[in-house]
Chain A
Amino acid sequence: MNSLERRLQLGLVLSLLLLMGLFWMVGSQSLRQLTENFIISRLEHDAESLLRVISAHPERLLQQEVDPIFNLPFSGHYYLVLFNDGRKFTSRSLWDHALEIPRLAPGESRRLHRTGPSGQQLLVLVEGYDLQGVKFTLAVTEDLTPIEAQRDRFTRNFALLGLLGIAVLLVMQRLVVRRSFRRLERVREDIQRLEQGEIERLSEDVPAEVLPLVQEFNHLLQLLGQRLERSRNALGNLAHSLKGPLNLLQQYFDGEHAARIKETQQAGDQVKRISRLMERELKRARMAGAGLPSRRFDPATDLPDLVNVLNSIYHKRHLKIQYELSDDISPFGDHEDMLELLGNLLDNACKWADSTVKCAVLNDDGQIIITVEDDGPGLSDKEIGTLTRRGTRLDETKEGHGLGLSIAKDIVNLYSGKITFERSAELRGLKVTVLLRQLT
C-alpha cells in the first residue's frame, strides 16, 4: 500500500471502529444493568405488597387483594409462593405454566432469568422469608421482552449513528488530506516549470514534512548546474589549450617545405583528422540535453541574433535568410544546444544555398517544429536515405553536409526528437525538419 491517503484512512477507520465498538459494548452492558436494576427495584416493591397480603392471611392468598396485574393471564407479572410446609400459591396470570424456583432459606435473595409462557423473558426475584415462624420462598417476575426490545432498538440506533459518524469523519479526513496534498501539487507544478526553465529552483514555501525533500532536491539541482557549468568550462579550456598546438602543427604542415615530402604530408592529414575528431567530440560533450536547469533558448530574440551572425558570415554571397516564428512560442531547450542545432542547420543551408534560405520555428500544440530549407542542389535520394537511417553516422571526413548535420542529429536525439531530411517542395534544395517533443 503506497498511498499516504489510504494509509491515513485505514488507520482512522480501524481506530474509530475500535473506539465505537468499545463504546457500544460498555454502553449496552451498563444499559442492561441499569434496566435490570430498575426492574428489580420494582419487583422488590411488588414483593413487599405481596408480603403485606401474605402476612394478613398467612394460610391463603386472596387473589382479589393482590395487584390486578397478577390476575391478568400471561401479563408477565407473576408470583409464586412456596411454603416450607409444601403449600404453593401461584398467580392467576401464570395460568398453568410451571415456573421452576429454587427453595431459599429466609434472608436469602437471588436474581434469575427464566423463560415464561409464550417465550417471555422473565426476570425473577426470589427471596426467602420467615414471617413469625412461617417460612416460605417468594418469587416475583416481570417480562423483560418489551424493555429489551426497546433497549435493542436503542443499541442498534447507537451502532448506526456510530457508523454514520465514521463515514462522516472519513469524508472529512479525505477533504483535509486532499487539501494538504494540494500544497504538494504546487511542488509538482514547480518541477514542471523548472523543466521548462521558467524557474531555477523549487520554492521552499512547502509543508514542513516535505521541506527537507525539496531542500535536498534544490541542493542536487545546484550541484548539477554547477557540474554542467564546470564541465563546459573545462571542455572549453581543453579545446583552447589543445587547439593552439594543433594550429601550430597545421601551420607547419601548410608550409611549402612540408608539402614536398610524402611523410609530412601524411602527418599533416593526421593532424587534420585529429582536429576534426576533437571538434566533433568536444561539441558532443558540450551538449546539455533536456531537463537541466539552464538558460532556455528564446526564439523571439535568439533566432534574429543567429540570423544576423549568418548574414555577417555570408555577407559576400548576398543570401536572403528569411525566418518565421509562431507568436505563442515560449523558450525551450538549452540555450547553447538549440543555438548549436539551428546554427548548424542554417550554416549548412547557407553553405549550399543559391540565394535563399528559409527557416521556421513553429509551435504545433506544444510540439516545436523547426524547418530549415535552401534552394541549393539538395541531396540525392540515396544520400537522404543514409542520413535518415537511425544510428548511421554521416561521412564526417568530407567537408560539406557532414559534421554540421551530424551534430544536429546528435542534439535532436539527445532531446528525443525527430529529424527528417527531404527535398524542399518550395525551394528545391535540402529541407530539414526537426520535431521536438511536447515541452509544456
Chain B
Amino acid sequence: MRLLLVEDDKLLAESLRKNLVQRGFAVDLADNGIDAEFMGSEEPYDIVVLDLGLPGRPGLEVLKNWRKQENPVPVIVLTARDAWHERVEGFKAGADDYLGKPFHVEELNARIHALIRRNHAVKGQTLQVGGLRLDEEQQQIHLPDGRILDLTGTEFRLLRYFMLNPGKPLSKTRLTEHLYEQDFDRDSNLIEVYVSRLRDKLGKERILTRRGQGYIFVAKQ
C-alpha cells in the first residue's frame, strides 16, 4: 500500500511515518502543498493523509485540485482547527474522512484501514479472501486449516495488496508501485522473489501467473 503523508510538522510527520511503515505502508512524505499536489497527481497512491494547514498551498485547495483532475485517491484530512464548518468544507472538497488533531495513532490507523477496506469494497472488520484471513495487527496469515503463519514486512504488504484486489490481474509494475515508496530502487525481480515466497507459504494455486499480464490472486478455492 502506497501512502502519501502530507504534514508540515517534521517531527510529527517522521513519527507518523515510522508508525505507518511498521503497519506495512510504503510512505512518501510531503511537507508543503505544492509538492503534495504534484506527488498525489503523479504517483498511484492507495491513500493520502492530508493536513489542511500547509505552507505553499492550503490543503483544501490541493484536495480540490485533485478532484478536479478526477483523481479518486481516498483522502483522510487532518486538521488542527477541527471546526464543523471546516469539516463541511473538507467533505465538500472531496475528503473521505476527517480527523481532528491531536489524535491517537490507533485512531488514524483504524481510519486508514476502514477507508482502504471501504474503497476496495471489503465487508467486515478483517480482510478475508477464500478462507484466508489476514491479521493486519500482528501481520500474520490465518490459513483455512487453522495454522497461523508469520509474514515478513514485504510479504505482508504484497499479500495485503493481493487480498484487496482478488481476481484481478496485477502487473509487476503495478505491484512495485503500490508496495514501495517513491525513491525505492525498483527491481521487478524482487516481486518475483516475494511471490514465490508467498506461494511457498500459501500454496502454489493461490497466485497464478498470467503471461504478459502479471499475477492473479485466486479468490475461491
Chain A interface residues toward B at CB < 8 A: 236-237, 239-251, 254, 275, 279, 282-283, 286, 302, 305-306, 308-309, 312-313, 315-316, 335-336, 339-340, 342-344, 347
Contacts and interface: CB of A to CB of B under 8 A. Distances in A.
Given A254-B104, A316-B114, A247 B12 contact: yes
Contacts of B80: 236, 239-244
A60 to B, nearest CB: 124
Contacts of B102: 243, 246-247, 249-250, 275
Given A247-B103, A306-B88, 14 more contacts: A239-B81, A247-B101, A248-B11, A251-B105, A254-B105, A283-B83, A306-B84, A309-B84, A315-B118, A335-B85, A339-B83, A340-B84, A340-B85, A343-B84
Contacts of A247: 9, 12, 101-103
Interface in B65-111: 80-85, 87-88, 91-92, 96-98, 101-106
Contacts of A249: 102
B88 A305 contact: yes
Interface string B105-149: 110000000100010000000000000000000000000000000
Contacts of A336: 83-85
B40 interface: no
A245 to B, nearest CB: 8
Contacts of B92: 305
Given A248-B11, A312-B96, A339 B84 contact: yes
B15 A251 contact: yes
B33 interface: no
Contacts of A286: 83
A381 B92 CA distance: 39
A306 B12 CA distance: 30
B87 A236 contact: no
A244 B12 contact: yes
Contacts of A313: 97-98
A410 B87 CA distance: 20
Contact of B15 (A242, A248, A283): A248
Given A243-B101, A248-B11, A254 B88 contact: no
Contact of B84 (A239, A250, A282, A344): A344
A249 B11 CA distance: 11
Interface in B1-50: 9, 11-12, 15-16, 19
Given A236-B80, A283-B83, A286-B83, A250 B88 contact: no
Contacts of B98: 309, 313
Given A247-B12, A247-B101, A240 B53 contact: yes
Contacts of A340: 83-85
A197 B16 CA distance: 43
A246 B101 CA distance: 9
Nearest to B11: A248
Chain A to chain B: the 3 pairs with minimum beta-carbon distance, closest first: A343-B84, A244-B9, A243-B101
A267 to B, nearest CB: 15
Contacts of B82: 239, 279
Among A241, A243, A313, A340, which residue has the most Cβ atoms of chain B within 10 A?
A243
Contacts of B106: 254
Contact of B91 (A241, A302, A308, A347): A308
B67 to A, nearest CB: 15
B121 to A, nearest CB: 13
Contacts of B9: 244-245, 247-248
B12 A309 contact: no
A246 B83 CA distance: 18
A244 B11 contact: yes
A240 B81 contact: yes
B53 A236 contact: yes
11 contacts: A240-B80, A243-B102, A244-B12, A244-B80, A248-B9, A250-B102, A254-B105, A305-B91, A339-B88, A340-B85, A343-B84
B104 A250 contact: yes
Contacts of A245: 9, 11-12
B201 to A, nearest CB: 29
Among B15, B87, B98, B106, which residue has the most Cβ atoms of chain A within 10 A?
B87
A306 B87 CA distance: 8
Contacts of A347: 84
Contacts of B96: 312
Contacts of B53: 236-237, 240
A245 B80 CA distance: 11
A198 B81 CA distance: 28
A205 B108 CA distance: 56
A340 B197 CA distance: 53
A347 B98 CA distance: 13
B97 to A, nearest CB: 7
Given A239-B81, A250-B104, A275-B102, A343 B87 contact: yes
Among A237, A240, A241, A249, which residue has the most Cβ atoms of chain B within 10 A?
A240
